[in-house]
Structure 1
Amino acid sequence: MQAEMAVTRIGLSGLAVMGQFLALNIAEKGFPISVYNRTTSKVDETVQRAKVEGNLPVYGYHDPASFVNSIQKPRVVIMLVKAGAPVDQTIATLAAHLEQGDCIIDGGNEWYENTERREKAMEECGLLYLGMGVSGGEEGARNGPSLMPGGSFEAYKYIEDILLQVAAQVPDSGPCVTYIGKGGSRNFVKMVHNGIEYGDMQLIAEAYDVLKSVGKLTNSELQQITADIFSIKDDQGDGYLVDKVLDKTGMKGTGKWTVQQAAELSVAAPTIEVSLDSRFLSGLKDERVEAAKIFQGDFSSNLPVDKAQLIEDGMNIIKAKSMEKGWSLNLGELARIWKGGCIIRAIFLDCIKKAYDRNADLANLLVDPEFAQEIMDRQAAWRRVVCLAINNGVSTPGMSASLAYLLTSKTRTSYVFVC
């Protein structure tokens, strides 16, 4: 631990892997940073890692008073702790030593109404409060995440220069950070962003399944047309790593919140909804193994799919909530900052940004002529993939739900049975 009191530019509390990596990222960009964690061994571990990675200016403190006092005024402290009660506990610990005009930034995934409650409580104490989505996992935190700050604009201006350098940098687009809006808007945007990532990963998994199960592509062939992960061998060297990953996953809650909000706002988000169902089903591993003994299938041939409709689902949810809450969110800017540092980062985000630049009040991306043409250029292949998968007994719920949305959206008459 650093022994002397050093005046740093910013502080970070919560040193699990994400917190450690974000602290190292900030320090590497030339901003001295103080770090604190209730478990003091994490503080020492972070400081040691900073030394190993090039004597980065990371200063560790074992008690909250010394930690807070080491930061230059007005003080800014980022929290990266588990959502819920731990956030309130950390706020109480820090607030006991902060002064009027100081700022707390919550970098976790939190329900947006909790952030609005906390911002109001902090304001009554003379403190500023900012929520900030940090997307991109450990890799993003260390080397450049997509950052989504919202809440106190004054607090954002305190650290704008830091965030512009810490965020992922995309050529011809700039740093993947922008001020989202007031209140709990950043939490809502990050929540839907995570929901989009659920759907994104679902589509990737389905494309892999079609290529592998129907097309019978080898890992070597998959590596050539998709990603290098398919060429990675496991630690024992007796097979490919991808073939040994358990087909069972969990979730942190943001995907479920996204689907719930879509229903509350009467916004159709079929791809995100089925991606959530798929996660539920993936957890039923034992049941699926038993069912597989009864149901058998034959497989042969392939083609990939597009993720544009998925992103539109999320944009529609964000737009509806922005209108309800009066957040005046800039959807084009959201598309821009998702181009790097996170899972979404699709080339189609350029098309989405340009569509919103042409018309910020666009009712639906499908009514933008240029965007619609991009979809039409791909929809025939999309239909062929879904038909191919169905005919070969391969489940593609994400691709199918997205296609159904598109076909319904372009139909003048929609038939719904009402009782």
Structure 2
Amino acid sequence: MRRILFHFRMNSPQIRTQSSTAAHRVIKVHFSDEQILIANSKLVAFQTMQNDIGLIGLAVMGQNLVLNMANHGFSVAVYNRTTETMDEFVGGLKDEPVDKVWEGTADRVHGYKEIEDFVASLKRPRRVMIMVKAGGPVDAVIQQLKGLLEPGDIIIDGGNSDFVDTNRRSKELREEGFQFIGTGVSGGEEGALKGPSIMPGGHVDAWPHVKDILQSISAKVGPNDDIPCCDWVGEDGAGHYVKMVHNGIEYGDMQLICEAYFILKHTLNLSNEELYQVFKSWNQGELASYLIEITRDIFTVKDEKTGNDLVDMILDTAKQKGTGKWMSQHALDLGVPTTLITEAVYARCLSGQKDARVRASEVLTGPDVTFDGDRDQFIEDVRQALYASKLVSYAQGYVQLDAAAAEFGWKLNNGNIALLWRGGCIIRSVFLEDIKAAFDKNPQLENLLLDDFFKKAINQAQPAWRRVVATAVNMGLPVPGFSAALTYYDGYRRDRLPANLLQAQRDYFGAHTYERIDTPRGETFHTDWIRERNLT
């Protein structure tokens, strides 16, 4: 038997009155690693702080992350604003299939109806992961936690937060003595359960305290499937920034795949069965990826209501959550030409104007052209055009990462970032191994297109790429992604662009000055264009 002697005053901050009436009073006293429950001056419960980590927010992503942690042997406390959701989740664990809830997992998940009890159940330093809607809800939960946590405790924001908010929270929490991690989590519901890509940033001193948990639950790659797709990214908002770029590249990849589908469907009139075979073959080569794989499978699914192929019954209006837009907006702030991803965002916006497009289709005309080329060769051309355009998408993404790192003082490892995306996430592909190799060979690589491997690949694909874009234009098929990628490539490889005339125009109407090709950079000049014109 353990005997505990203690003395306290009723206004002690370590004491919380849970309920109080004339006849009944319950008091909880929290020590460094224990909780004592007193009722009517009698010790009625003694609880040792037991949980390795706590998670707040039990939507599907939060639930699956909890299961992933518990499946890997970690004891997890859970709390949700609506108690019913938590009760249903915790109470139903023993009924879940064994491939989702492993043996012993249900015993490692503990629900708490009071957030004070939730926090008190955590081992020190306390680790609390927040999985709630980005923006105000995250700030509200953090504010609530600050009144319960102690200096040195760790708050982890695992949602889709804007990196600007993460930068702010990182600074504020550091000043108040708390540790903070803002981490991107990619892979959707399945990834959260079976192994996501995790991109943590924030306070580096917090990393050793969460590394084991986050790397244990992440996806694994490598010959022995033992390399975690989770590693430290950088300070403050770096983790969420990398996740934003991941999502932007995802927008680009999806748009390019959709354009490849659209071209094949409207030039060669391929059936969905034929498209399935095309994407099946593409998934066995350099385009092998999660997105190509699921696209292949989509073509096989029938609509239960009509018996038609389901893909043909889906309305052609695409939604978006905003992370692609965030990347495009910040690209403009940095002055970085992330053109393909921005076009992918605009393509979704245009798709949303369904009614207007239907009206326009009845009055606006286009070319009446049919394709008369070689079928198999054109399919191969589209494959090469897709590969080359993907190269540009990733190249632009990494250029923006480098610009952001310079802007915010982050020390990013581009090769490691490619590895984080190699498994568990939506853009996972064999392609990323080549990207990692390029940055491992030259960590200061200015642009992926300048790497020997990718330079050779894009040069080889260039003729097919141009044929595909030209064919689409001649047939009146919109290919904003392919076109933007090719235009970026042609602009990037030119040592001289027409911006000399543009700068002359700016100087003409606004006296914005210009630089000369025969003087050092930074030296500026102005011409009185009207006067000079009148003199000639």
- Of 5, 24, 35 in structure 1, the residue corresponding to residue 67 of structure 2 is 24
Matched, 1:396 2:465: no
What CA RMSD, in Å, does the superposition of the two structures yield over aligned residues? Answer: 1.9
Tell me the secondary structure at the aligned position of residue 438 of structure 2: helix
Shift of the alpha carbon at 1:386?
Answer: 1.4
Quote how far apart the aligned CAs of 1:415 are.
2.4
- Contact 2:229–2:421, Cα closer than 8 Å, also in 1: yes
- 1:284 alignment partner, one of 312, 328, 353: 353
Match of 1:342 in 2: 425
Question: Does 1:209 find its partner at 2:262?
Answer: yes
Deviation at 1:35, TM superposition (A): 0.9
TM-score (norm 2): 0.74
2:391 and 2:449 in contact (8 A); partners too? no
Structure 1 stretches of 4+ with a deviation exceeding 3 A read: 3-6, 295-302
Match of 1:80 in 2: 131
Partner of 1:126: 177
State the Cα deviation string for residues 76-115 of structure 1 (Å, max 9, x = none). 0110111111111101122222122210000112222321
Call closer, same or farther: CA 1:49–1:295 in 2, change over 3 Å. farther
The structure 1 residue matched to 2:247, chosen from 194, 199, 206, is 194
Q: Secondary structure at the match of 1:294?
A: coil
Match of 1:235 in 2: 304
Q: Distance in 2 between matches of 1:68 and 1:241?
A: 47
Task: Note closer, same or farther for the CA distance 1:44–1:400 as it changes in structure 2 (3 Å cut).
Answer: same
CA distance in 2, matches of 1:276, 1:299: 29
Instruction: Work out the CA distance in 2 between the residues paired with 1:24 and 1:101.
Output: 26
User: Is the Cα contact below 8 Å between 1:213 and 1:299 reproduced in 2?
Assistant: no
- Corresponding residue of 2:231: 178
CA distance in 2, matches of 1:4, 1:231: 58
8 A contact 1:212–1:218 mirrored in 2: yes
Secondary structure in structure 1 of the residue aligned to 2:234: coil
- 1:117 counterpart (148, 168, 176): 168
Distance between the aligned counterparts of 2:451 and 2:320, measured in 1? Answer: 34
Partner of 1:256: 325
Matched AA of 1:292: S
Work out the CA distance in 2 between the residues paired with 1:203 and 1:243. 19
Letter of the structure 2 residue corresponding to residue 327 of structure 1: W
SS at match of 2:415: helix
Task: Find the residue that maps to 1:360 and give its secondary structure.
Answer: coil
* Other-structure match for 1:96: 147
Distance, in Å, in 2 between the alignment partners of 1:375 and 1:336 is 22
Q: Secondary structure at the match of 1:231?
A: coil
2:117 aligned with 1:66:
yes
1:9 Cα deviation after fit: 0.9
Contact 1:10 1:32 in 2 (8 A): yes
Moved more, 394-403 or 53-62: 53-62
- 2:90 paired with 1:47: yes
Offset at residue 319 of structure 1 (A): 0.3
- The residue type paired with residue 365 of structure 1 is L
User: How many residues are aligned here?
Assistant: 417
Amino acid at match of 2:361: A
**2:434 maps to 1:351:** yes
Letter in 2 for 1:52: D
Map Cα deviations across residues 160-184 of structure 1 (whole Å, 9 max, x no partner): 1111121111234721111000111
| AA aligned opposite 2:134 | A
Q: Deviations over 1:128-149 (max 9, x none)?
A: 1100000111121121111000
TM-score normalised by length of structure 1:
0.94
> In 2, distance between residues paired with 1:401 and 1:330?
27
CA distance in 2, matches of 1:316, 1:4: 56
Which structure 2 residues correspond to residues 313-352 of structure 1 after superposition, within 5 A?
Answer: 313-352=396-435
Structure 1 window deviating more from structure 2 (377-386 vs 62-71): it is 377-386
Counterpart amino acid of residue 373 in structure 1: K
Q: Which amino acid aligns with 2:50?
A: V
| Equivalent residues in 2 for 1:33-44, closer than 5 Å | 33-44=76-87
Deviation string, structure 1 residues 220-257 (Cα, Å, up to 9, x no partner): 11222221121011233611221222211222222112
Q: Distance in 1 between matches of 2:436 and 2:114?
A: 45
Q: Give how far 1:336 is off.
A: 1.1
Percent of residue pairs bearing the same amino acid type: 46
C-alpha deviation, 1:299, in angstroms: 5.4
Q: 1:352 to 1:38 in 2, by over 3 A?
A: same
Task: Compute the displacement of 1:262 (Å).
Answer: 1.1
Matching residue's letter, 1:236? K
What secondary structure does 2:231 align onto?
A: coil
In the alignment, the residues of structure 2 paired with residue 346 and residue 320 of structure 1 have an alpha-carbon distance, to the nearest angstrom, of: 25
Q: How far did residue 315 of structure 1 move?
A: 0.4
Structure 1 distance, partners of 2:208, 2:462, is: 44
- Other structure's SS at 2:299 match: helix
**3-state DSSP of counterpart to 1:81:** coil
Aligned partners of 2:174, 2:55: CA distance in 1, in Å? 21
Q: Deviations over 1:349-369 (max 9, x none)?
A: 122111111111111122222
Structure 1: 5+ residue stretches without partners: none
Mind listing any 5+ residue stretches in structure 2 that lack a counterpart? 1-44, 280-295, 506-536
| Whole-angstrom distance in 1 between the partners of 2:148 and 2:370 | 64
Counterpart contact for 1:299–1:393, Cα < 8 Å? no
**8 A Cα contact 2:201 2:239, kept in partner:** yes
Alignment CA distance shift 1:136-1:391 (3 Å):
same
State how far apart, in whole Å, the 2-side matches of 1:383 and 1:165 are.
45
Compared with structure 1, are the counterparts of its residues 299 and 283 closer, same or farther at alpha carbon in structure 2 (3 Å cutoff)?
Answer: farther
Residue 310 of structure 1, CA deviation: 0.2
Answer whether contact 1:275 1:398 (CA < 8 A) is retained: yes
Would the aligned equivalents of 1:262 and 1:269 in 2 still touch at CA under 8 Å? yes
Q: Report the Cα offset of residue 295 of structure 1.
A: 4.0
| 1:209 counterpart SS class | helix
Q: Distance in 1 between matches of 2:148 and 2:125?
A: 13
Structure 1 residues 143 and 237: alpha-carbon distance in aligned structure 2, compared to 1, 3 A threshold: farther
Cα pair 1:308 1:348 within 8 Å, conserved: no
Aligned partners of 2:456, 2:269: CA distance in 1, in Å? 32
Please show how residues 5-20 of structure 1 align to structure 2 within 5 Å.
7-20=50-63
Larger radius of gyration: 2
Structure 1 Cα separation of the partners of residues 62 and 203 of structure 2: 22
In the alignment, is the contact (CA less than 8 A) between 2:159 and 2:184 conserved in 1? yes
